Amino acid sequence: MSDYISNLYQRKYLQQRVHICLPGVSGWLTDLTELIFPVMGQRFFSSEQKLLEAMDNNKQKLLTIFECQTDDPNHDVEADAVAFYNSLEAIEKQLKLDAEFFYESDPACRSVNEVIASYPGFYAIVGYRISHKIFNMGYPLFARMIAENAHAKTGVDIHPGAHIGSPFFIDHATGVVIGETAIIGNRVTLYQGVTIGSLRVTKELSGTKRHPTVEDNCVIYANATILGGETVIGKNSIIGGNVWLSSSVKPNSFVYHESIMTTKERGM
């Protein structure tokens, strides 16, 4: 009985630790994004010291989450937190390139600040770039929590393990899916409903490249579905709306779907 109680306590304790961290992820992410991009929130800092204090507070939240995500008492979570915040400048530079690409690509957009403050596609990319860094640092569960937070807010599902270049533009956002082993180059544009997915979904394929590669300067229009780890969309290609692809496309290609539409006069 004592062994059972001991095991039960350990299991419940570990579950409780993860559960406690769950609501903290959303607050930490919101806080961090508003610190990097003030236009996303309503916070104003009267001095650099105040901003530094807010960043330190955000760091303490991250440390708590990191501690919940590791069972190794010898793991140096503080070093990981320092490494993450040291990478923020590089992440911000990528995100600024993304925001500028949104502005350049969308004729309805009036400013880069409009992109940062209101575009769901941009917020999805913010979530991705932060979660991707966390994922590569060895915190896959936390990374998925960040990704799913962005997914819930935007309708865009990007696995944190995907490799996505910069700049990157997701127009209208809703319904976009990008799988774990996808590789996407620079200056790529996706429209709503695009899937960069796996051709087969089976556990035996875990750890293999299951999702396509999209090379630089490609445009993929609404509701196109591109599947398979060996599928490569060559650079400078355009994939039309509703296209279904499970094989590679050479660079500079234009792939489109033909359908027959019939129009009849309505009876009176």
> Could you tell me the residue ranges of all domains in the chain?
13-155, 162-268
pLDDT at 12: 54
pLDDT at 217: 98
pLDDT grade, residue 209 (50/70/90)?
A: very high
pLDDT grade, residue 261 (50/70/90)?
A: confident
Rounded mean pLDDT of 175-184?
98
pLDDT grade, residue 18 (50/70/90)?
A: low
pLDDT tens, residue by residue, 41-95 = 878 888 899 999 999 999 999 998 888 888 777 889 999 999 999 999 999 999 9
**Residue 40 in this model has a pLDDT that exceeds 70:** yes
Residue 79 to residues 74, 85, 137, Cα–Cα distance (Å) = 12, 10, 11
pLDDT grade, residue 5 (50/70/90)?
A: low
Residue 8 to residues 17, 19, 59, Cα–Cα distance (Å) = 14, 16, 32
The Cα–Cα gap between 58 and 228 comes to: 39
Q: Judge contact between 183 and 214, C-beta under 8 A.
A: yes
CATH superfamily of 13-155: serine acetyltransferase, domain 1 (1.10.3130.10)
**Alpha helix segments (H runs only) across 106-216:** 112-118, 120-136, 140-154
**Which amino acid is located at 70 in the chain?**
T
pLDDT at 201: 75
CA 78 to chain centre: 24
The Cα–Cα gap between 168 and 124 comes to: 11
**Residue 163 in this model has a pLDDT that exceeds 90:** yes
pLDDT at 206: 77
Q: What are phi and psi of 178, to 5 degrees?
A: -130, 120
| Domains 13-155 and 162-268 agree in fold | no
Q: Which two tokens stand for residue 128?
A: 């991705």
- How does DSSP classify residue 266? P
pLDDT at 9: 58
* Average pLDDT for the chain: 90
pLDDT at 10: 61
| Distance from the first to the final alpha carbon of the chain | 81
Residue 141 buriedness (CB in 10 A; 0-12 / 13-18 / 19+): middle
CATH of domain 162-268: 2.160.10.10
pLDDT grade, residue 96 (50/70/90)?
A: very high
Q: What are phi and psi of 195, to 5 degrees?
A: -120, 125
